[in-house]
């Protein structure tokens, strides 16, 4: 049964701004990085800042909230603002619905990331990041117990379940990491560009067995920003705007990380059903594929749950579609998977990197990564528990 999708193609992304992603941007605050990306996005859209009447900025540790960013940039007369939690499509959908409903006409969306003392040695030495330490424990007076299956640990736990159910080798996960690294080498903004071999993957430091440090997104300093408005207004700015065909979140009721029903039923399945029911296009029609890769297991989930491969077959599928020359997946020899390098190698952007690259590809501005005449992009954002999301972007 088709679902309503009154927003179909009605909201456009007309501006993109991004810093480069770095494992150590030096003495720069997330507010500065965020401001830099926002200013770039507003200039890229070719609008005056007075036109912005909505601000949506994600709740990233240390990043300025929407009200703070409005103060930083001197944005006046804002009629919609919010600070949704990560990952990226929460902010995208919030901005879209604000515009579609008339709460605002032109919305600035931004994410700013900063390495925290607990995931970066150099960050631990920056006194201006020390306050972030308290955020890790969530206000507890002692470190949380090692046995809490929090969202990060949970992906490892479910990765082991995946290995158990489908009897796949670690190389399946390594193939995901190699795809991202090879693509990142073609992206000037990426944090990790050194080539990655399967041997190096298998020897990388184990963090939570079965996942090693190369299965986890790389903490970075950086920021991405976007300007959204009505497609009607977008056509005044550019002849072929990039529009959101559909976007959705997805979640099951039993979403506590260790209580999830199974690998066969979680948020990604809800996303896929909603996208298919609201969309005119699906996997055969796309030119670029963006499966989120905050953890490598999430990518395997998207490949299978989007229907590219059968359950347990994502590893086999990647090999079947592997381009030896480029060192990455090219679906049917044509469609790349996270051509910007994803969160594993471009940097942990909570999916804004995927969204930004989708826009650049559809605009034909992706440099040496450009897919010829790319018109449609499919994004599977977030993981299994509370932040599964999806979006389909098109060039009109």
CA–CA gap between residue 120 and residue 123 (Å, rounded) = 5
The closest alpha carbon to 347, from 181, 232, 167, 153, belongs to 181
Residue 295 CA to its chain's centroid (Å): 11
The binder of other proteins chosen from 158, 173, 201, 384 (CB under 8 A): 158
**Whose Cβ is closer to other proteins: residue 4's or residue 205's?**
205
The binder of other proteins chosen from 254, 265, 310, 334 (CB under 8 A): 254
Q: Determine the longest span between alpha carbons in the chain, in angstroms.
A: 57
Starting from the edge strand earliest in sequence, which strands make up the sheet with 335-336, in order?
322-323, 328-331, 335-336
The binder of other proteins chosen from 59, 72, 153, 202 (CB under 8 A): 153
Q: Are 326 and 182 in contact (CB under 8 A)?
A: yes
The binder of other proteins chosen from 151, 210, 327, 364 (CB under 8 A): 210
Q: What is the contact mask toward other proteins in residues 255 to 284, using x (rule: CB under 8 A)?
A: -x-xx-------------------------
The binder of other proteins chosen from 67, 160, 283, 370 (CB under 8 A): 160
The binder of other proteins chosen from 206, 232, 240, 334 (CB under 8 A): 206
Does residue 253 interact with other proteins by CB under 8 A?
yes
**Whose Cβ is closer to other proteins: residue 115's or residue 189's?**
115
The token pair at 71 is 């103060």
Write the DSSP assignment of 306-364 as a string of letters: TTSS-TT-HHHHHHHTEETTTTEEEETTTEEBSTT-IIIII---TTHHHHHHHHHHHHT
Q: Which stretch binds other proteins (CB under 8 A): 76-84, 96-104, 148-156, 182-190?
A: 148-156
Q: How far is CA 357 from each of CA 97, 215, 225, 365, 371, rounded to the nearest angstrom?
A: 22, 21, 12, 9, 11
**Whose Cβ is closer to other proteins: residue 267's or residue 353's?**
267
Q: Which stretch binds other proteins (CB under 8 A): 134-142, 173-181, 226-234, 329-337?
A: 134-142
Indicate if the alpha-carbon torsion angle 86, 90, 92, 94 is positive or negative: negative
Does residue 157 interact with other proteins by CB under 8 A?
yes
**Whose Cβ is closer to other proteins: residue 71's or residue 140's?**
140
The site for other proteins (CB under 8 A) is made up of 138-149, 153, 156-161, 164, 205-211, 253-254, 256, 258-259
């Amino acid at each position: 049964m088709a679902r309503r999708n009154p927003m179909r193609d009605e909201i456009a992304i007309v501006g993109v701004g991004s810093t480069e992603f770095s494992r150590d941007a030096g003495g720069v605050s997330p507010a500065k990085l965020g401001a830099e990306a926002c200013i770039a996005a507003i200039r890229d859209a070719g609008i005056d800042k007075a036109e912005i009447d909505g601000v949506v900025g994600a709740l990233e540790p240390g990043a300025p909230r929407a009200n703070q960013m409005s103060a930083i940039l001197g944005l006046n007369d804002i009629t919609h603002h919010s600070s949704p939690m990560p990952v990226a499509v929460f902010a995208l959908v919030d901005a879209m619905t604000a515009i579609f409903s008339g709460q605002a006409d032109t919305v600035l969306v931004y994410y700013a990331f900063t390495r925290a003392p607990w995931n970066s040695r150099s960050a631990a030495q920056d006194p201006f990041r020390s306050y972030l330490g308290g955020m890790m424990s969530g206000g507890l007076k002692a470190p949380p117990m090692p046995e809490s299956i929090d969202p990060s640990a949970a992906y490892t736990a479910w990765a082991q379940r995946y290995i158990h159910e489908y009897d796949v080798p670690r190389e399946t996960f390594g193939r995901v990491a190699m795809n991202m690294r090879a693509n990142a080498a073609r992206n000037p903004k990426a944090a990790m560009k050194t080539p990655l071999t399967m041997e190096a993957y298998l020897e990388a430091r184990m963090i939570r067995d079965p996942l090693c440090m190369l299965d986890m997104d790389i903490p970075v300093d950086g920021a991405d920003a976007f300007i959204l408005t009505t497609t009607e207004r977008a056509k005044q700015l550019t002849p072929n705007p990039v529009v959101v065909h559909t976007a959705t979140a997805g979640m099951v009721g039993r979403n506590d990380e260790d209580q999830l029903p199974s690998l066969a039923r979680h948020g990604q399945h809800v996303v896929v059903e909603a996208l298919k029911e609201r969309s005119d296009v699906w996997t055969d029609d796309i030119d670029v594929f963006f499966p989120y890769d905050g953890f490598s297991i999430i990518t395997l989930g998207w490949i299978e749950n989007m229907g590219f491969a059968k359950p347990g077959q994502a590893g086999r599928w990647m090999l079947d579609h592997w381009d030896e020359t480029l060192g990455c997946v090219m679906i049917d020899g044509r469609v790349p998977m996270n051509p910007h390098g994803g969160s594993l190698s471009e940097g942990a952007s909570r999916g804004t990197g995927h969204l930004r690259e989708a826009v650049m590809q559809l605009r034909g501005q992706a440099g040496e990564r450009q897919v010829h005449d790319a018109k449609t992009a499919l994004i599977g954002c977030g993981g299994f528990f509370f932040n599964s999301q999806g979006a389909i972007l098109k060039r009109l």
